[in-house]
Structure 1
Amino acid sequence: MADAERDHRRHAVVEQVIADVKNSAFAHAPSGHFQANAAWLALAALAHNLTRAAGALASTFHAKATTATIRDHLINVPARLARSARRLTLHLPERWPWREDFAQLFSIVHAPPVL
């Protein structure tokens, strides 16, 4: 019984990942040529993995969220980019609910390398 439960849970996770990829990048697969579909699938898998990694780095909520939620909260950022004295400044909204999660992701990704 325990083996059947474990197998069922693993299968459900795989189905969830497939549904998540189909609802994002693979929804627009070219489907005309096999090589084009293979390349598109490879890029869709890469985008899915990078999006999930960004969600895992941002917060525990985004670590469990779908890629559409991560895209809406952390990638499609409602920000304004300003240039002053040859420096770029990203202005985030004041009461944006995912400000801390985005700041955490940004600080982890842009942290200096550990030697």
Structure 2
Amino acid sequence: RPAETHPRQRGQGAAGRPFTTISPEVFDTAAADRMHRGHAVIEQVNAELKAGPLAHMPSGRFQANAAWLVTAVIAHNLLRTVATVIGGAMARARALTLKARIISIPARIAHRARRLILHLPTKWKWEKAFIKLWAAALGPPAAQNT
């Protein structure tokens, strides 16, 4: 037979877990909305990391897990930076979308006169976004003061 619920746990939500509510006396509606939106951002980050690189954890070794976590966070931050630089609709794109559209491009590398040449596909849908990112990352060199 199930054990009786402790008096403090009665009426605390599903499975006896406590939950909190925000009353209008503590936060106004706008402040509460900002706080909840901030939580939504981190939930999105957690979902992307769990669906991507953190799906391979745990490995059984602490040092390997720590290194993998650091690498995953660095890669995620770089992808978010790429999305911000490109802007527009890509600024809100998920990691898998960025990888499919910008990172995994169907390009060909050629060598000519000791230079690398990147041949992008003609009429590629994401060409403008890639060129914008390329210009931001490898723009013209800064002028030197002599």
What is the aligned-residue identity percentage?
46
Give the structure 2 partner of residue 91 of structure 1.
119
Q: Which amino acid aligns with 1:28?
A: H
1:100 equivalenced with 2:141 (yes/no): no
Q: Deviations over 1:24-58 (max 9, x none)?
A: 22122343122221221111000000011011112
With the length of structure 2 as denominator, give the TM-score of the two structures: 0.72
Give the structure 1 partner of residue 12 of structure 2.
none
Question: Number of residue pairs matched?
Answer: 115
Whole-angstrom distance in 1 between the partners of 2:103 and 2:61: 30
Please show how residues 59-74 of structure 1 align to structure 2 within 5 Å: 59-74=87-102
Q: Which protein, 1 or 2, shows the higher relative CO under an 8 Å CA cutoff with sep ≥ 6?
A: 1
After superposing on structure 2, the runs of 4+ consecutive aligned residues of structure 1 that deviate more than 3 Å are none
RMSD: 1.6
Structure 2, unmatched stretches of 5+, are 1-28
Structure 1, unmatched stretches of 5+, are none
With the length of structure 1 as denominator, give the TM-score of the two structures: 0.90
